[in-house]
Structure 1
Amino acid sequence: MSAAAESAIPASPAPGPRPIPAVVPKGAAGLSLTERVAGQEQLLPAPLLGLLVTLHRAIEPERRALLAARRERQAFYDAGGLPDFRDDTRAIREGDWKVAPIPQALQDRRVEITGPVDPKMVINALNSGAHCYMADFEDSTAPTWRNLLAGQGALAGAVEGSLAFEAGNGKQYRLRPYEERAVLIVRPRGWHLDEKHVRVDGEPIAGGLFDMAVFAYHNARTLMANDRGPYFYLPKLQSMEEAALWETALSHVEAFLGLPHGQMKATVLVETLPAVFEMDEILHALRDRIVGLNCGRWDYIFSYLKTFRAHADKVLPERGQVTMTQPFLKAYSELLIRTCHRRGAHAMGGMAAQIPNASDPVANEQALARVRADKLREVTAGHDGTWVAHPALIPVAREMFDAHMPTPNQHHVLREDVQVSRDDLIRPCEGTITREGFENNVEVCVRYLAAWLDGNGCVPIHGMMEDAATAEIARAQLWQWLHHSDPRGRHADGSPVHLADGTVVDFALFERTLAALPGRLGDTAGLPGGNRIAEATALLDELTRACQLVEFLTLPAYARLD
């Protein structure tokens, strides 16, 4: 075993592969761990490993079948098919039913903050004054083995109340009293992501199952005793069947831990285009435990791009112009509100990814003005709460919701005026691609990939907090623009994609932009992942030139992690 593998959990991993022998824990026949770090025996005791074995065997066959169904669905779209509401579930959509009652701790969720699970972030988020903190093992966390275990340890310490952190400058971070902390909600990884460090019967376990089960094992009883959950955010679902599989997994863990059925509550992020056509069905599949749906706007835009990757008539403008006021996104958010409130569930708004800029008052006020307008739109439309990515935005978001939502939520706002058709949800928006927009997409992709490969899943770039979801938009747009300028796939009218100044978007432009990037970045020594810029550039080049849009950038990048 290498010296790096023997280091303490919080240490940063050295890049590159390391040959580490598999470790077979006692009492968990069939399970092997492909990496070891100091302290993991306390986080992964034998009974928990036994739970992971039974959970994997109960869930994995159906997970594989559902991932195959995703591929079949995408092939249908690639052949020209369009998503639509299901005929076989009409009775669910038209039926008169409600979800289970919402716990008191989740009645008021007007401002939620999200971020990764490192100890400093966990303390700051719980102390931030937000109503809820979504601890993110998915889009904001690069899933190195150390990151995952350090995150689980930090959350267990937070639930226990013992978590503390000392920065390199000696600054101390401590949790506020229990009643002053945000309500903790954990986001495990999506069904598409494996956890390569844990194998059962020779297969990697689903990353989301690992995240959920480890957190529940250590914290469920304490949280239940304090009327605080456990609570989860479930990401990137595409169908009611995928929601039903989460129901099976959560019920399995509840039974193992001796919890009442439905004790573990869930909020589902509607962040894929197929899912918007099955919102009633997803609520119904999880009706004993679901408390709401969330407009995962950034992933939703990415999903739109990915779903219509072969459709020349669905090319979108640069991402800065694809805002929630665009008709297809407005239809999505308002249909979500109507659907949730009809069923007695929360309709959560999306994330403001802006970062305040104290050094530039003009830019700072412009950013805050955009946040105010966004949160005003959400609360007046009927949303029950919203997300921010930075603590300084919490007062801005709360100001808007306090002014327009005097009640804990807005379930009484039924939005029966909302009438949304299939075509409303898939009609693309108009706009342009500026040269700066094209170059910014390239820069964001390279810088985010470099940071992610270096173990950092959340990166501030040009006043925005970039995570996997926002970077995916930039990456998918580059592929879409370039491949629909290719003679094999142009605009519906036969014209190539071009910049606002008339320049054709082709691979020559892409190559020039990549070549100019080092000059644009300057000294990369101080950038997150600055030592992996060249590797990230090569990976972006490979992904962009691929004949087919790769499903998620984190899939090929994961093979290079650790």
Structure 2
Amino acid sequence: MIPGVLIHSKVAEQAQSAILTKEALSFLAALHRTFESTRRSLLTARGEAQRRWDFGVQFNFPQETAHIRADASWQCAPPAPGLEDRRVEITGPTDRKMVINALNSGTKTFMADFEDSNSPTFANMIHGQVNLRDAIRREIDFQTGGKNYRLCEKPAVLIVRPRGWHLDEPRVTIDNVPMSASLFDFGLYLYHNAQELVLRGHGPYFYLPKMEHYLEARLWNDVFIFSQSYLGMPLGTIRATVLIETLPAVFNMEEILYELRTHSSGLNCGRWDYIFSFIKKRRADPSAVLPNRADVTMTVPFMDAYVQLLIQTCHKRKVAAMGGMAAQIPIKSDPKANDAVMEKVRQDKLREVLAGHDGTWIAHPLINKIVMDVFNEHMPDPNQYHILREDVKVAVADLLNTHVPGKITDEGVRSNISTSLAYTAAWIDGNGCIPLNHLMEDAATAEITRVQLWQWIKYGSCLDSGQSITVGYVDNLIDDLAPGVKQSYAGVKEDKLAVAVEYLKGQIRQVWPSEFLTSDLMWHLAVADGVDVVAGGVEEQWRMAAM
């Protein structure tokens, strides 16, 4: 319909016709042609920065922006309608039942996720757009097992997380180039819903993931300005919360807020992705080896420093400092175990609200009351912007402090392997959010498990028993544990599990770990959606990245 724009899949064809309209595709093409070259240059800059860190250049706050950090006069825009009070936010993928249940959960907001809790099959991406469009217009319903699901009278405020700058959307090419997955998700949602959201008293609100530098935030801000002009909307209608979930981003927090100040609604502690990034970005540093992931809690030095600095930074600029995820799922079959898990959630959220967070995340509606009670008791106002945390003094060394008490155990290695295999197999099969060991896991956990196994092998780590962690040791455990993965997560399919085994064995042998498993394995989804990735050697490029 649009010159230069091609759709390479007929999956969800009826939904495509409703979402991939001529007008929407024209908007996507305008976004791509305006911003793709900048996105590519910023991704190249990521690789150049990584090579500098590999050669021993120290992480630090940018010298060229010291004046921005020193200037106490600037603040971000005041909260947009519906974002004044965000004490509990629920997150999850955009399937129809999930959207209804999350909006009905009683939380203040719902982050509808096209990213880490979503496997980006084309059907998932397109149906997700349909579901959000219908929810905004109060036209969404769902029937299953004789039960009807409909929206309540006052649903949660909707926030959408598009995929990160590093990801392509291979099912859509513009001028023979796959378009940015970020702009695909953002552009379709904004085009179809921005005006309707404003008419209903809110606006188009977003969570922005995986950024590493303030120039990446500048690109988003330029996209916002362009998009509002294109759609005839006032400047500042779009608002965005940035997830600080990469190690480089923690040194750019004030600059990220500054770049987005007209459109900013705060920062979020993306705790699991942050641990993943901490390991990956310090891949050449043998002093950065971490123990079992269960021991890397929010109270260890580098995590505590990250949280304290984020809260101080946000409140200095009068925006929300959002806490991390409570991934726990209620254990209905064991009341005693459930009470212990819920108490763990309560203590974690108590730590957050007392530290000064303005809200937090949950993954299950039944956790809402526990978390809401904690924030209601300790945060009587809509937020805590007035708590400036001027007592906080965080140095570079604090953010890099790897003195983490704990050890590496056989059970820790086994847990990493089982989790990595189960999630990777599910993701390839189209499911990006799965329950494992009473936790709702997404891509961030799979990424931590993958890079930890690589790190332990790379630097010759030993178990607490003295056993060396070698490729052979991990290989044998992968083979031993793979059959049991189907029992821990019943949805795992044999052929998808075989791919997950091959991928993990390839990863532990790499000189450096791959940037993202979602990039490595996207070709599986593209092939299933009918994209001819073999043409032009695209499959080989992906396969080489994955092995």
TM-score between the two structures when normalised by the length of structure 1: 0.91
Please report how far the alpha carbon of residue 519 of structure 1 lies from its aligned counterpart in structure 2 after TM superposition. 4.6
Structure 2 partner of 1:459: 434
Q: Deviations over 1:343-392 (max 9, x none)?
A: 01110000011111110122212211111111000000000000011111
Q: Deviations over 1:28-66 (max 9, x none)?
A: 211111012321111111011111111001110000000
Question: For 1:436, which of 408, 411, 429 is the aligned residue?
Answer: 411
Distance 1:521 1:43 in 2: 37
Please report how far the alpha carbon of residue 535 of structure 1 lies from its aligned counterpart in structure 2 after TM superposition. 1.6
Please report how far the alpha carbon of residue 251 of structure 1 lies from its aligned counterpart in structure 2 after TM superposition. 1.6
Following superposition of structure 1 onto structure 2, how do residues 48-63 of structure 1 map, counting pairs within 5 Å? 48-63=24-39
Distance 1:305 1:524 in 2: 27
Structure 2 partner of 1:546: 510
Does residue 86 of the first structure (1) align with residue 86 of the second (2)? Answer: no
Please report how far the alpha carbon of residue 163 of structure 1 lies from its aligned counterpart in structure 2 after TM superposition. 0.6
Does residue 225 of the first structure (1) align with residue 202 of the second (2)? Answer: no
Structure 1 partner of 2:541: none
Structure 1 stretch displaced more, 397-406 or 531-540: 531-540
Structure 1 partner of 2:398: 424
Q: Deviations over 1:273-294 (max 9, x none)?
A: 1011111100000010101000
**Counterpart residue type for residue 158 of structure 1:** A
What is the root-mean-square deviation in Å for CA atoms of aligned residues? 1.2
Does residue 151 of the first structure (1) align with residue 128 of the second (2)? Answer: yes
Distance 1:160 1:223 in 2: 9
Is the alpha carbon distance of 1:525 and 1:416 closer, same or farther for their aligned partners in structure 2, counting shifts above 3 Å? Answer: closer
**Counterpart residue type for residue 379 of structure 2:** M
Q: Deviations over 1:455-495 (max 9, x none)?
A: 0000111111110111111111011111111xxxxxxxxxx
Distance 1:525 1:266 in 2: 35
Could you say what secondary structure the match of 2:511 adopts? coil
Structure 2 partner of 1:478: 453
Does residue 450 of the first structure (1) align with residue 441 of the second (2)? Answer: no
Distance 1:452 1:150 in 2: 17
Does residue 395 of the first structure (1) align with residue 376 of the second (2)? Answer: no
Distance 1:529 1:519 in 2: 11
Q: Does structure 2 conserve the Cα–Cα contact (< 8 Å) formed by 1:136 and 1:186?
A: yes
Question: For 1:136, which of 78, 103, 113 is the aligned residue?
Answer: 113
Distance 2:485 2:428 in 1: 18
**Counterpart residue type for residue 151 of structure 1:** G
Could you say what secondary structure the match of 2:350 adopts? helix
**Counterpart residue type for residue 371 of structure 2:** A
Could you say what secondary structure the match of 1:89 adopts? helix
Structure 1 partner of 2:104: 127
| Number of residues of Structure 1 aligned to a counterpart in Structure 2 | 522
Is the alpha carbon distance of 1:528 and 1:111 closer, same or farther for their aligned partners in structure 2, counting shifts above 3 Å? Answer: farther
Please report how far the alpha carbon of residue 529 of structure 1 lies from its aligned counterpart in structure 2 after TM superposition. 4.2
Structure 1 partner of 2:357: 383
Q: Does structure 1 conserve the Cα–Cα contact (< 8 Å) formed by 2:276 and 2:448?
A: yes
Is the alpha carbon distance of 1:524 and 1:291 closer, same or farther for their aligned partners in structure 2, counting shifts above 3 Å? Answer: closer
**Counterpart residue type for residue 53 of structure 1:** A
**Counterpart residue type for residue 434 of structure 1:** T
Could you say what secondary structure the match of 2:237 adopts? coil
Could you say what secondary structure the match of 2:135 adopts? helix
Please report how far the alpha carbon of residue 521 of structure 1 lies from its aligned counterpart in structure 2 after TM superposition. 3.3
Structure 2 partner of 1:254: 228
Structure 1 partner of 2:490: 526
Q: Does structure 1 conserve the Cα–Cα contact (< 8 Å) formed by 2:243 and 2:268?
A: yes
Q: Does structure 2 conserve the Cα–Cα contact (< 8 Å) formed by 1:271 and 1:295?
A: yes
Could you say what secondary structure the match of 2:325 adopts? strand
Distance 1:31 1:520 in 2: 45
Does residue 44 of the first structure (1) align with residue 20 of the second (2)? Answer: yes
Question: For 1:170, which of 125, 143, 146 is the aligned residue?
Answer: 146
Distance 1:146 1:70 in 2: 31
**Counterpart residue type for residue 139 of structure 1:** D
Q: Does structure 1 conserve the Cα–Cα contact (< 8 Å) formed by 2:95 and 2:127?
A: yes
Q: Does structure 1 conserve the Cα–Cα contact (< 8 Å) formed by 2:283 and 2:455?
A: yes
Q: Deviations over 1:112-158 (max 9, x none)?
A: 00000000000000000010000000001111110000100000000
Segments of structure 1 that go 5 or more residues without pairing to the other structure are 1-25, 486-496
Distance 2:378 2:421 in 1: 40
Distance 2:125 2:230 in 1: 22
Q: Deviations over 1:198-245 (max 9, x none)?
A: 101111110010101100111111101122111000001111100000
Is the alpha carbon distance of 1:524 and 1:112 closer, same or farther for their aligned partners in structure 2, counting shifts above 3 Å? Answer: closer
Structure 1 partner of 2:43: 67
Structure 1 stretch displaced more, 522-531 or 316-325: 522-531
Structure 1 partner of 2:81: 104
Q: Does structure 2 conserve the Cα–Cα contact (< 8 Å) formed by 1:452 and 1:529?
A: no
Q: Does structure 1 conserve the Cα–Cα contact (< 8 Å) formed by 2:471 and 2:508?
A: no
Distance 2:518 2:13 in 1: 26
Structure 1 partner of 2:163: 189
Structure 1 partner of 2:212: 238
Q: Does structure 2 conserve the Cα–Cα contact (< 8 Å) formed by 1:292 and 1:348?
A: yes
Segments of structure 2 that go 5 or more residues without pairing to the other structure are 529-547
